[in-house]
Amino acid sequence: MSHLPLTRASVEDAHALIQPHIHRTPVLTNTTLSSLASTPQTTDALKGTQWEGQQPANPKFKLFFKCENFQKIGAFKVRGAFHAVIRLIQERGIEEVRKSGVVTHSSGNHAQALALAAKSFQIPAHIVMPKISTPSKIAGTQAQGAIVHFSGSTAQEREAAVAEVIAQTGATLIPPYDHPNIILGQGTMALEIQKEVQELLQGNSELGVHGDVRGIDAVIAPCGGGGMLSGIAVALHDTGVKVFSAEPSFQGGDDARRGVEAGERITTVKTLTIADGLRTPLGEYTWKIISDKSYVKGLYAVTEQNIKDAMKLVLERMKCFVEPSAVVGLATILYNENFRKMVEQEAPEEGWNIGVVFSGGNTTIDAITKMFADVPEETKEREEGVLGSDGKRVAENVAG
């Protein structure tokens, strides 16, 4: 597939193309979560972590949540999928594309997104999914009329299955993340975040840390294969808005962070983190952007418990249905002391208005129930708090 250069102007072109096919998702605020993020963790909460014995950071935040869980198919992936399919149609013509179809590999959200985009243009879609994919995501993909092929969970196993489908059908590969057309499509949400936060502040300047209509200072987004993070970074490059990455640390799921730290892309990752949408390594295109500090200023990681605690907060306090992958950015803001100290140092007086991407909501009540089944029975005092790992400080310091 041909593509435009990776620039903000190209993201704007992508946005114009896909707007008729996507929802403009809302940006929400939440006083409780902003207050919690602006409250230091207690020394007890830091026991057993790498920050034990250190003085807790005291940053200031106002959080603006970009709710892509309300997007079509329940995740941001439709942005890149529709953009890539439309560009392919422009390049080859609709009849030619319909003859052989399209193919991809995905744990679920891109699978459903490409299935929907292909269905919208009556194009056959072949989707390679790991056998361990969330059942609801498999069902959602099949519901769009796609032909599902199962594979192992590693990138190499997925790609081998895709190669077999291409050999049999001649289908065109629409990569899940590592292609400029995908990156540019995903980056369209950054344009919306900027505009929507500005509109909110014009309506009520007290929603921001600055007390005026200045917009977002930063955006933090989940990182798996890096298509969304790269797109956001491209869209916001040279705008003055800082971009950060959030990943799960479980079983080496923070491969982007570790790779950037080591100066070399990690090409294989095998993790069973509950953030199942983030079990993928960076690709060649996404690595070039994410490893460049002028695009992505910092990469951070959080634990499985951090993810569960953040998800519990969103479900209970925001009444917002999200999947685990969606909350790694919020978990970083709440629990990663390296990130919190950095913000405190960079903006000690006012703090930051920060855009937090909720990437998707494709999970189920059954999955959530199982996820929290191994959590011990909580005390009444803790249940009345808002921080899973430290109910005491929240109950004492943060209004519900």
Listed in order, the ranges of the chain carrying CATH 3.40.50.1100 are: 8-74+186-381, 77-181
Mapped onto helix, strand or coil, the DSSP state of residue 4 is: coil
CATH 3.30.830.10 is right for the domain spanning 8-74+186-381: no
Catalytic residues: 77, 107
- Beta carbons of 359 and 277 less than 8 angstroms apart: yes
Say what the pLDDT of residue 137 is: 79
- Beta carbons of 346 and 338 less than 8 angstroms apart: no
Instruction: Outline where DSSP puts E strands in 111-161.
Output: 125-130, 147-151
Positions of the chain with pLDDT lower than 50, given as ranges: 376-400
Say what the pLDDT of residue 182 is: 97
77-181, what's its fold?
Answer: Rossmann fold (3.40.50)
Say what the pLDDT of residue 384 is: 40
Phi-psi region of 319 (alpha: psi -120 to 50; beta: other; left: phi over 0): left
Give residue-wise pLDDT tens across range 123-181.
999 999 988 887 877 888 899 999 999 999 777 888 899 999 999 999 999 999 999 99
Please report, to the nearest 10 degrees, the dihedral formed by the alpha carbons of residues 175, 178, 184, 190 taken in order: 110
Say what the pLDDT of residue 107 is: 74
Pairing of strands 125-130, 147-151: parallel
DSSP H or E stretch at residue 37:
helix 31-37
